[in-house]
Structure formats: C-alpha cells, structure tokens
Homo-oligomer: A and B are copies of this chain.
Amino acid sequence: MNLILLFNDDFIDENKVRLDDRRLRHVLEVQRPVKGDELRVGLAGGLLGSGCITSLNDTSLEMEVSLLDTPPSPLPLTLILALPRPKVLRRTLLSVTAMGVKRIVLLNSFRVEKSFWQSPVLKPENIQRQLILGLEQARDTILPEVLLKPYFKPFAEDELPSIVKDTLALIAHPTAQEQCPRDVRQPVILAIGPEGGFIPYEVEKLISCSFHAVHLGERILNIEAAVPSLISRLF
C-alpha cells in the first residue's frame, strides 16, 4: 500500500478522516507511524495529498488531510479480456489498475470455461476490492470501470462498433503476422483472448469491427505476463 485511498464516508469533518478497517490494520502492522507523522493519502475520484496523524490507537486512526496533487494520467486504453480463471482475474485486475487502465471489459469467448462466470471474484464488492488495491499500489485515485459481457456475439455486433471509433483496435494473437506496435501515442482498444486464444469465428468478428491482429514474438505468454507486456509496449 503506497497510498491510503479515502472515501467520502471516512470524513468526520471538513479535512478530518477516521479509519478503523483494513487500512488501519495495514498502517499499524506495516507502516507503524506515530502521532504527528504524515501518511500519503488520496481521495477516491479526487486529488492526492497527505494526512497528518492527529490520533492513533489500536481501534482508530484520525488524520488531518490536505489534498493538492492531481493523480497520474490514465492510459488511453480500453482492455477487452476474455474472462480468465478466477485467481488470474484477481491478480490481473490489480495489475492493470496499477498500470492506469480505466476501462476493462471482461468478455466471454468459446474457450472461456463457463464456471468462471459463476466465480465470487466477479461480485461487485470483490472486483472493487482489487481495483482499490491496484490504486493503492500505484498511488492513483481514479477507479476503473469494469464491464461484464457474458455474451460475445451481441457485444461484438451491437456495442463494439461504437467503442472502437477513433481508436487503434488490436487483438493480441500469437499467430498474427504483424508485431505489436510500440509507443503508439493514441487511444487503443486491445482484445486479449483466453488460454488457447480466440477461435477463428471470434477473430473474424473482431476483424470485421476494424481490429487487426498483432503478436509479441514467437513465445506464447501466460495472461499474467502478456497483459503487462502488451500495455508497456503500447504506451
């Protein structure tokens, strides 16, 4: 936790917050500050700043906060991810939030196991938790939007065309002819398939929506390595 993310509910006065949850326990166990110390804070959806500890004990922490700095720039990226297995999804949500992705679409694909859609990881509160951990990791305050799209075809036909407009639309596909471009400096929509890849029907659907397929070399990477590799190469 490189930043304590604050919410409006934490405020007990105009510039004063009180914490008594996971964030208090983290501060007590890891940071171990004393009264008068400054902690790095940020307001969800707002500015970054610092909090001066005015009272601290085992059950609560109070700070006088001052919020002055803008959060880091978001990446101009919409990430479409064939729903990964729950453990991988949890870590991926955290990592891509930390990297600055602000729109994440979790999409069905023929090779996505149906049971993944029943996972508790997809409950809104559990998704939110991973996003918060990602923001705390990266010192950011702007929560990404996560959209669940359990039907490939209606999403590709009815929703994708308007999302794709004015962006560079790429499918990461190990057998593509073209290398993934570097440092593109423009909005990107990037689709990443499941283990085993999108099936030809899905690739064709995406290509008919102006996507083109790119690869990262002859190695086939796991999702955990592929996602940060692609994002880091593009921006």
Contact between chains at A98 and B217 (CB < 8 Å): no
A220-B139, A222-B94 known; A229+B99 contact, CB < 8 A:
yes
Judge if A47 is at the interface, Cβ distance under 8 Å.
Answer: no
B-facing mask of A134-152, CB < 8 A → 1, else 0? 0001111000000000000
Contact between chains at A222 and B72 (CB < 8 Å): no
What B residues does A220 contact at CB under 8 A? 2, 98, 137-139
B-facing mask of A203-235, CB < 8 A → 1, else 0? 000000000000011111110111111111100
Q: When chains A and B are docked, how far (Å) is the Cα of A86 from the Cα of B211?
A: 39
Categorize the interface residue count of chain A: 20 to 34
Residue of B96, B216, B225, B230 touching A95 (CB-CB under 8 A): B225
CB distance from A52 to the nearest CB of B (A): 22
Contact between chains at A98 and B183 (CB < 8 Å): no
Contact between chains at A98 and B219 (CB < 8 Å): yes
Q: When chains A and B are docked, how far (Å) is the Cα of A72 from the Cα of B222?
A: 16
Q: When chains A and B are docked, how far (Å) is the Cα of A61 from the Cα of B225?
A: 31
Q: When chains A and B are docked, how far (Å) is the Cα of A107 from the Cα of B221?
A: 25
Contact between chains at B224 and A137 (CB < 8 Å): no
Judge if A100 is at the interface, Cβ distance under 8 Å.
Answer: yes
Contact between chains at B182 and A225 (CB < 8 Å): no
Residue of B98, B140, B219 touching A139 (CB-CB under 8 A): B219
The residue in A98, A100, A225 that gathers the most chain B C-beta atoms within 10 A of its C-beta is A225
Q: Can you name 22 A-B pairs with beta carbons within 8 Å?
A: A72-B217, A95-B221, A95-B224, A98-B219, A98-B221, A98-B225, A99-B219, A99-B221, A99-B229, A100-B219, A137-B220, A137-B222, A138-B220, A138-B221, A140-B219, A182-B183, A216-B232, A224-B228, A228-B228, A229-B229, A230-B232, A232-B233
* 6 new A-B contacts at CB < 8 Å, known A98-B219, A138-B221: A72-B217, A95-B222, A99-B229, A227-B228, A228-B229, A233-B233
